[in-house]
Structure 1
Amino acid sequence: MPIIVEYLFLWFLFYSFCGWVYESILVSVQQRRPVNRGFLNGPLCPIYGTGAVMAVVLLGGISNPLVLFLVSAVGACVLEYFTSWAMERLFHARWWDYSHFRFNLNGRICLLGALVFGVGGVVIVDVVQPEVARVTAMIPLVAVHWLFVTLFAATVVDTIVTVVGIVHFEESLEQFRAIAAKYGDAMRERVGDVVDGATGLAGGVATGVAGVASAASDAFGGVPGRVGEKVGESLHSGLSSGREMSTELMMRLREAAGSVFSRQQRRMIASFPRLRASRNNESLEQLREAFEQLRRRG
């Protein structure tokens, strides 16, 4: 195998790791929580490595920074759009969505991303890659061979494990939808009982308000206002029960997710906050909301 292929693969891993660092920091700041943004289990975002290596190979001969910027921006958008489309066709889910950005195309790419990738292409080709090539050239060829074989095998295994783990994501989401519907019906019945009890209590108080008022002076030391305090405590108790049952529902949804979704699928839901399913997306949003409420409540 030509040595250049081994170097290209090592460069691919380097830029994939840099992309993972960039994406993880960016999304963690946006979500205000740590987010492991890698598509693979390892700290890699392959789309960044692919784009960077393609820029190095195809655009290395462009000396005009403006032309390099424009070609990098357009090329990166084409790569991102195709990757988004292909992954949605394969896994029946949209992994990222730029619909909330202005000047986007079907939510797959946006103008801001094109500008970032254009600048990134100039920096990589003119600034970063010469140093990366210099450092990798200093590695003994035997070490390059072993690094290539070891890391290539690990990447292939990681890719297979990831794809196998998420390929049935749509079926898992359907199972979760059925379980969530069952839990939701049960919780609504229990909440309804609490609401009926609280309503009956309020009605009884209204019907017997005259008698309660006359007895208040004796029962509460001549301070009728304490009757309102007792009624308020009862209603507050009912509302607290509703909150507890809401938390119980969230816990049950989390347990259901743990039993239905594979580890890879759960990791994807956490890693891609804007992941959107082609079917049963409402159930996915419900699960994400449950996780978020549980996180806020500690």
Structure 2
Amino acid sequence: MLTVEYLFLWFLFYSFCGWVYESILVSVQERRPVNRGFLNGPLCPIYGTGAVLGVVVLGEVRNPILLFVISAVGACLLEYVTSWAMELLFHARWWDYSNFPFNLNGRICLYGALIFGIGGVVIVDVVQPEVARVTAMIPIMVIHWLFATLFALTVADAIITVIGIIDLEDSLERFKAVAARYSGAMRERVGDMVDGASDAFGGAFNGAPGRFGDMVGESLRSGKQMSSELMVRLRETADSVFNRQQRRMIASFPKLRTVRNNETLEQLREAFRQLRRGDGRR
């Protein structure tokens, strides 16, 4: 039992390290703070799972080249299976390497394999011995309490997250329907700018990518009544249709793609980018 408790605590440690790495990387890419955790807590479970598997399976491997190769291949296999399973469960793909060279179905890529290979060598040969030494210094009773408390919190977090995002596709459908109802009223209230922007808001989810966001940007720059009207409507609609978990996922995973309503998701994401720029200019 003690071994299981140690493994779980190591899993949390490496999941937290993965969260830090991913949050910094994506925040730099997006030029805004991004909480990259899949769970509500600061954890990226795929990193913790990969690291603990590496420690258990490769702990006795002393050849760094062999360790690198096995770590790279094993991590890519884990990432591919995880991507496939999550797409099957949630009808969405959470990351996409299609723009990277030497990728396989956008689920894994050579760049990631190299990073994971190096990471495996560093974890097994450098980091894990120190982690094991520190955890061995913690009193057994404290280990028991830490395990029981953190395990319960992690399981509860996972359940809340899964329940919250399982119907993301249905929420996107509802968003399109609610947005469409605004278009008629907005046409009657303001002139041509509203007519074009409300068309984008209510109907351009099935049009060319970026049109909705472009119209939001035009209305923001125009300084007309449409700016505040559309901004309020958009935020109210998103807040009412998407639950907290879904809003968090959309913000945390810029490469998130859905099976049925990906164009709607892209339009919504682009509109929020335009709105953030508009807020920044005020």
**Same fold per superposition (TM over 0.5):** yes
Q: Residue 130 of structure 1 aligns to a residue in which SS?
A: helix
Match for residue 40 of structure 2? 41
Instruction: Give the superposition deviation at 1:168.
Output: 1.0
Instruction: Give the superposition deviation at 1:294.
Output: 1.1
> Is 1:175 equivalent to 2:174 in the alignment?
yes
Instruction: Give the superposition deviation at 1:248.
Output: 2.8
Which of 248, 260, 265 is equivalent to 2:229? 248
Match for residue 114 of structure 1? 113
Q: How far apart in 2 are the matches of 1:163 and 1:239? A: 36
Q: How far apart in 2 are the matches of 1:69 and 1:241? A: 55
Structure exhibiting the larger radius of gyration computed from Cα positions? 1
Instruction: Give the superposition deviation at 1:285.
Output: 1.1
**Residue 167 and residue 246 in structure 1: after superposition, are their counterparts in 2 closer, same or farther (change >3 A)?**
same
**Residue 184 and residue 117 in structure 1: after superposition, are their counterparts in 2 closer, same or farther (change >3 A)?**
farther
Give the alignment of 1:189-208 within 5 angstroms: 193=192
Q: How far apart in 2 are the matches of 1:157 and 1:248? A: 39
Match for residue 161 of structure 2? 162
Match for residue 125 of structure 2? 126
Match for residue 257 of structure 1? 238
Q: Is the 8 A contact 1:76 1:117 kept in 2?
A: yes
Count of residues in correspondence between the two structures: 256
**Residue 239 and residue 21 in structure 1: after superposition, are their counterparts in 2 closer, same or farther (change >3 A)?**
closer
Q: How far apart in 1 are the matches of 2:120 and 2:222? A: 57
Q: Residue 131 of structure 1 aligns to a residue in which SS?
A: helix
Match for residue 58 of structure 2? 59
Instruction: Give the superposition deviation at 1:192.
Output: 5.4
> Is 1:279 equivalent to 2:271 in the alignment?
no
When normalised by structure 1's length, the TM-score is 0.81
**Residue 283 and residue 126 in structure 1: after superposition, are their counterparts in 2 closer, same or farther (change >3 A)?**
same
Instruction: Give the superposition deviation at 1:271.
Output: 0.5
> Is 1:10 equivalent to 2:9 in the alignment?
yes
> Aligned AA for 1:159?
A
Q: How far apart in 2 are the matches of 1:148 and 1:15? A: 15
Match for residue 290 of structure 1? 271
The Cα offsets for residues 155-214 of structure 1, whole Å up to 9 and x where unpaired, read as: 011011111111111111110111223334555666654699xxxxxxxxxxxxxxxxxx
Instruction: Give the superposition deviation at 1:89.
Output: 0.7
Instruction: Give the superposition deviation at 1:251.
Output: 3.1
Q: Is the 8 A contact 1:177 1:280 kept in 2?
A: no
> Aligned AA for 1:76?
A
Q: How far apart in 2 are the matches of 1:70 and 1:172? A: 42
**Unaligned residue ranges in structure 1 (runs of 5+):** 197-237
Q: Is the 8 A contact 2:187 2:194 kept in 1?
A: no
**Residue 195 and residue 44 in structure 1: after superposition, are their counterparts in 2 closer, same or farther (change >3 A)?**
closer
**Unaligned residue ranges in structure 2 (runs of 5+):** 196-218
> Aligned AA for 1:290?
A
Q: Is the 8 A contact 2:175 2:237 kept in 1?
A: yes
> Is 1:97 equivalent to 2:105 in the alignment?
no
Q: Is the 8 A contact 2:102 2:109 kept in 1?
A: yes
Q: Which segment drifts farther, 282-291 or 148-157?
A: 282-291
> Aligned AA for 2:244?
R
The Cα offsets for residues 214-246 of structure 1, whole Å up to 9 and x where unpaired, read as: xxxxxxxxxxxxxxxxxxxxxxxx997685425
**Residue 246 and residue 53 in structure 1: after superposition, are their counterparts in 2 closer, same or farther (change >3 A)?**
same
Instruction: Give the superposition deviation at 1:102.
Output: 1.1
**Residue 103 and residue 248 in structure 1: after superposition, are their counterparts in 2 closer, same or farther (change >3 A)?**
farther
Instruction: Give the superposition deviation at 1:249.
Output: 2.4
The Cα offsets for residues 34-75 of structure 1, whole Å up to 9 and x where unpaired, read as: 000000000000000000000000011111101100110000
Q: How far apart in 1 are the matches of 2:194 and 2:272? A: 26
Q: Is the 8 A contact 2:97 2:109 kept in 1?
A: yes
